[in-house]
Structure 1
């Protein structure tokens, strides 16, 4: 089996694209970004042989890398354009930021765990992605980032909505993507999570869409040096 520069075989690349299509991903630019971003580079060494599969993988600090199809579904919902400036809250391994960097002009990604932020910077630098800035800090606190953004993606769920200062950072026509926690159904202990897309149609005009179930985990505030 022939391998590419990132160690993946042609068969593995084809399998990944098939997985994305099965969950409804049709944006060719998103599919190409996933195809050309080596997920194994961002996975812990002991799990790199599993990086080509459509499964979530554990990483440091008790966090996880989402399954590629789940992440692709989220990023496609952003409807990214090459001129966009994107804010990502929850860097994790850095894989999502690397994919975003192939789709947008500039990506600012914020991670609350210092270990994860540091490791992500090294991996992003290894890919020579100069349009990504990885920041260690509390992305849910005012002052963590500055400027306006065309797209904001928060890899977490809220009981209501993200902090208002983040939504205020959206440019007109901008989109924020996040999870929302809803009451657990009768007889269940775990609350439901729904993926929500919020669009800023004008200064005080907003429209919101429910994109279906998701599993992101509740938002956590504060920054942590290590876990």
Structure 2
């Protein structure tokens, strides 16, 4: 028997209507993304607002933009990884950035965390060992109009000219925190990264007390790739 059920005609929306629908879809996706972070224990209002306003899809590889608002790490060129949002949030909560603070970021990657730091009001000096990633990050940061960011290609784990920072962020896991890095930490300053203990990366927070001593507090495990030394010669 032939199906004679009337079928609805497709709606041909004008361009502005399609744009409105796309904007609504993006707003719903962003809201779900932020709610998922809250459900996983992220309660810092300023950080959640920054993660709402900084579009991760701008920084994600083009073939993975549909996964940008999900809590997964994404593969990058040069064999690197774009850290998952929950891990990023945990590190930034531990870092406790306040507006106007000077932050030294080691491992720029795509520039996503750099943009979050800038959105939180920090003055950021970020360093990346891969020229390919650094050039890409520069373009991403221009798109989102991240302010007060200074970028350099180099090895952030090596000894550098004396310069003090309020906060230091290691975007990767290390077997030990180099003294060359903690030397940049001013009194009352704080470093956050991942320290590999018994083969497992764990969140670590290092604070310099007012008398100049360093206090180190290990935290929970993190899904974070190793932070490599040296400057890439070909990438």
Distance 1:12 1:159, change over 3 A: same
Match of 1:187 in 2: none
Q: Please, which of 188, 207, 223 is the counterpart of residue 173 of structure 1? A: 188
1:9 match: secondary structure: helix
Match of 2:222 in 1: 214
Which one has a larger percent helix, Structure 1 or Structure 2?
2
Q: What is the rounded CA distance, in whole Å, between the counterparts of 1:101 and 1:77 in structure 2?
A: 16
Q: TM-score scaled by structure 2?
A: 0.86
Q: Which range moves more in the overlay, 212-221 or 118-127?
A: 212-221
- 2:57 maps to which of 18, 21, 40: 40
The answer as to 2:165 corresponding to 1:149 is yes
CA distance in 2, matches of 1:50, 1:99: 19
- Unmatched runs of 5 consecutive residues or more in structure 2: 1-19
Q: Which runs of 4+ in 1 moved over 6 A?
A: none
| 1:22 aligns to 2:39 (yes or no) | yes
Q: Is the 8 A contact 2:192 2:205 kept in 1?
A: yes
Q: Deviations over 1:58-107 (max 9, x none)?
A: 11111111111111111011111002100110111110100110113300
Q: 1:72 aligned to 2:80?
A: no
Return the index of the structure with the highest Cα Rg.
2
Matches within 5 A, 1:45-194: 45-143=62-160, 147-161=163-177, 163-183=178-198, 191-194=199-202
1:141, distance to aligned residue in structure 2 (A): 1.3
Displacement, 1:150?
Answer: 0.5
1:202 to 185, 201, 210: 210
> How far has the Cα of 1:22 moved from its partner?
2.2
**2-side partners of 1:146 and 1:17: how far apart?**
39
| Aligned match for 1:31, one of 48, 61, 65 | 48
Deviates more, 1:196-205 or 1:67-76: 196-205
TM-score with structure 1 length normalisation?
0.89
Asked if 2 retains the 8 angstrom alpha-carbon contact of 1:159 and 1:181, the reply is yes
How far, CA to CA, are the matches of 1:95 and 1:211 in structure 2? 23
Q: Which runs of 5+ in 1 are unaligned?
A: 184-190
In structure 2, the CA distance between the partners of 1:200 and 1:2, relative to structure 1 (3 Å rule), is farther
Are 1:86 and 1:104, in contact at CA under 8 Å, matched by a contact in 2? Answer: no
Q: Provide the C-alpha distance between the structure 2 equivalents of 1:166 and 1:8, rounded to a whole number of angstroms.
A: 43
1:55–1:68 CA contact under 8 A, matched in 2:
yes
Contact 1:19 1:69 in 2 (8 A): no
Cα RMSD over matched residues?
A: 1.7
